[in-house]
Structure 1
Amino acid sequence: MVTAGPSDGRRVVTPVKSAERTLALLERLAEAVEPVAVVDLHRASGYPRSSLHQLLHTMAASGWIEMLQDGTHVSIGSRALVVGTAYLDRDRALPHALAALERIRDETGYTAHYARREGDRVLYLATRETTESRRATSRVGRQLPAHATSLGKALLAELSAAERAEALGDGDLAALTPDTVTDRQALDAQLNAARDRGYAHEREENLPGVACVGVTVGYRIPASDAISCSLPVARASDREVERVARVVSAHAGRLAQELRSAGVR
């Protein structure tokens, strides 16, 4: 059984297996860098082979997936981009956020990101890159564990202990790199420090060779969105991190005020 509906009025519903399998298939293809073998999808989904082939052909006909000419491999289709773009198009905060990211990038010389927390993960909604950026983690639509990013740490730091525990769940915290903080007590200490100083900071927890500074955009309480700036570890001295944090904090504060004035909630 799963819950559905708004957080203040959840109801228990029975999942539709065929819908779950279709969505899982789309998510699997969205995560894949290369086309995925149909035989691998068959093993992973548990779908009867004939039913899977019918589903794939239906999805290909509507543009959700693309099939190679021999039909042995499939990849995500252009329809997914159209639907994903619709999510961005209706977000009233994004046009304001994009302008802020451009100013941060220009003032710091580093890549800037805008993301929103969804449970224990952060969803990247916008990025403004420099020529030296590491694209592996910056693409729009990517989701990463909140505890492993400065964006997520900044947002988690605003929560109470109970809210934080609910957001992160009971499972083990995933390690993206050898430096990812996965111990709950160590993470709590890190988040408390972030709350006290007004920004979160991580070094190589998300991507080797990269440090990040994250600041919440407080137009909602608690904050749902945050801005981060990524810089090479070789340049991430205490002085440089503090400089970047001041720039990001200033623009995040102005962005929050701008969004509130525009009636964005």
Structure 2
Amino acid sequence: MDMAGSGSGDGTVGKALEVLDQVASFGRPVRFSEVLADSAYPKPTLYRLLQTLVSQNMLSYNLDRQTYAPGARLVRLAHAAWAQSSLVQVASPHLLRLSVATTETVHLAQLDHAQVLYLDKRNAAHPVEMFSQAGKVGPVYCTGVGKAMLAFTDDAQADDIIAQQSFHRFQPGTLTTPAALRQELQAIRARGYAFDREEHEPGIICIAMPILTPSGRVLGAVSVTSTTARTDLKGLETLAPKVRDAADAIAQDAAKWSFPDHGTHTLKLAGE
């Protein structure tokens, strides 16, 4: 891991946050040797930073297993941040209504740097096992919500996000080049919504709509997801008005909360 990033210029606090990010990125309790193997810091520095994080309850240390994991204080802060700064609270009633109206799985997502962060999920009347769960991150280029947000992101940010995509071929229909993705994004802008055509997981399809401020700034995306065993893309497309209504309602409620519209560009959905 390259630790020469932004935190290196922020003294001890920046370094400690980098280590905290590193431990959390494993997604499981991790031993010191594993952290050291992926760290740019020398062993004494890394050990000192870990001890500081443990003493502040940002990390916990299991003496028997000799592993580090996110601590109670970090969990409390994460819950507070989630409730206060995400779209979850604003979107919750609209997601529920959309799920009931469509009887399908509904997702709420935001961009997290060059990835998709799933914020909330409402299961279908008959749930289907799939990758997406609240708190998980996924690829932008082969998910409906990712493409919906990217299509309405300003050009400079979109270019940066596209440059960071891995373009791994998850399924036969996965877009695997920047050129193919850009062509898809142009089509999404023209019709106002995106599809996932089994691009990330076999049998999983969705229709996704961006959540936009009046100036066109992307707040997130909402999607309705189903399976090829239950419906097809044409069937999902009939739900576009319901998905758009939910996205618009979330955007309107977000404007009343802590999501001021500072956008300087205007990107409107087709038909507006």
**1:234 match:** 229
Q: How many residues of Structure 1 are paired with residues of Structure 2 in the alignment? A: 254
Give the counterpart letter for 1:74 in structure 2: Y
Residue 90 (structure 1) aligned to one of 84, 92, 101: 84
Q: State the distance in 1 between where 2:13 and 2:253 align.
A: 40
Map of 1:116 onto structure 2: 110
Cα distance in structure 1, aligned partners of 2:15 and 2:167: 24
* % identical equivalent positions: 25
Q: TM-score, normalised by structure 2?
A: 0.79
2:248 to 242, 249, 253: 253
2:264 alignment partner in structure 1: none
CA contact (8 A) 1:92 1:264 kept: no
Q: How far does residue 199 in structure 1 lie from its aligned partner after superposition? A: 0.9
Q: Which amino acid aligns with 1:227?
A: V
State the distance in 1 between where 2:15 and 2:206 align.
36
Q: For the aligned residues, what is the CA RMSD?
A: 2.9
Deviation of 1:133 (Å):
4.4
Identify the residue that residue 139 of structure 1 maps to in structure 2.
134
List aligned pairs for 1:177-216, cutoff 5 A: 177-178=170-171, 179-216=173-210
Q: Are positions 1:219 and 2:242 aligned together?
A: no
- Unaligned runs of at least 5 residues, structure 2: 261-272
3-state SS of 2:213 partner = coil
Amino acid at match of 1:233: T
Q: Deviations over 1:84-114 (max 9, x none)?
A: 2222222374323011111111122222222
The answer (yes or no) to whether the contact 2:162–2:178 under 8 Å persists in 1 is no
Contact 1:21–1:45 (8 Å) recurs in 2: no
Q: How many angstroms does 1:157 deviate by?
A: 1.4
2:32 to 23, 34, 38: 38
Normalised to the residue count of structure 1, the TM-score between the two structures is 0.81
2:58–2:73 CA contact under 8 A, matched in 1:
yes
- Tell me by how many angstroms 1:227 deviates: 0.8
Aligned residue number for residue 47 of structure 1: 41
Q: CA deviation at 1:160?
A: 5.3
Unaligned segments of structure 1, at least 5 residues: 4-12
AA aligned to 2:39 is S
Is the Cα–Cα contact under 8 Å of residues 155 and 225 in structure 1 kept in the other structure? yes
| AA matched with 2:146 | G
Matched, 1:61 2:73: no
One-letter identity of the residue aligned with 1:35: P
Q: C-alpha separation between the residues in 2 aligned to 1:180 and 1:259?
A: 33
Task: Provide the rounded CA distance (Å) in 1 between the counterparts of 2:61 and 2:129.
Answer: 30
SS in 1 for 2:76: helix
3-state SS of 1:151 partner: helix
Cα drift, residue 143 of structure 1: 2.8
8 Å CA contact 2:197, 2:233 repeated in 1: no
Equivalent pair of 2:83/2:89 in contact (CA under 8 Å): no
1:245: Cα distance to partner? 2.9
Q: Is the 8 A contact 2:209 2:221 kept in 1?
A: yes
Kindly tell me: are residues 14 and 48 of structure 1, through their superposed partners in 2, closer, same or farther at Cα, counting changes over 3 Å? closer
1:22 to 16, 26, 34: 16
Who is 1:173 aligned against? 166
